[in-house]
Amino acid sequence: MSLDPILTAAPVVQIHASAALLALLLGPVALYRRRRDRLHKITGYLWVLAMAVTALSSFGIWSFALIGPFSPIHLLAVLALWSLWQGMRQILAGRVAAHAQTMHSLYWRGLIIAGLFNFMPGRVVNRLLFAQDVWQGWIVIALGLALILWGGLRRRRMQRRGRSGKECRATRQRDAFFA
């Protein structure tokens, strides 16, 4: 592993990667604190800012362009910005449950799925982690997508059985992880 791919990347890629890493690290703190206190608000606002910078900076990255300068990954950036807007509107309107669901969904589906695309051969993260064997990125993508699919199927099966996931905090956290 070498830091050269990120250190020699364009500034917009460095900003994008830094903001995404910050969002990845802050997400669990903001989303899973038991009490909704000052720390939750501070980390939450920082997470929203990091997510917005990540999404906005993606529009300056054109290395995977399919339609003009854009790619299907840019649709995820639009969805992320819309989700941030909706999540903030919901909490400001006092709809705490809707806010929590939107932000959880954005973290687990938006950030993680978009993050998996970075393991494609030729991408900076792939070169950073698998400099010699770039095909290993496909293994990471396959495992990540399999985990997401398994979680979705598991959640659907639990819903069919009538389980609401309200039994205990550990069950809710486990279900949110695989949602």
pLDDT in tens, 75-100: 889 999 999 999 999 999 999 999 99
Q: Nearest Cα to 47, choosing from 103, 92, 98, 118?
A: 103
Q: Residue 3 has what pLDDT? A: 79
Distance CA 32, CA 26 (A): 10
Q: Is the pLDDT of residue 43 over 50?
A: yes
The separation between the first and the last C-alpha atoms of the chain, rounded to the nearest angstrom, is: 31
pTM for the model stands at: 0.77
For the chain, domain boundaries: 4-132
More confident: 131 or 87: 87
Confidence grade of residue 166 (pLDDT, cut at 50, 70, 90): very low
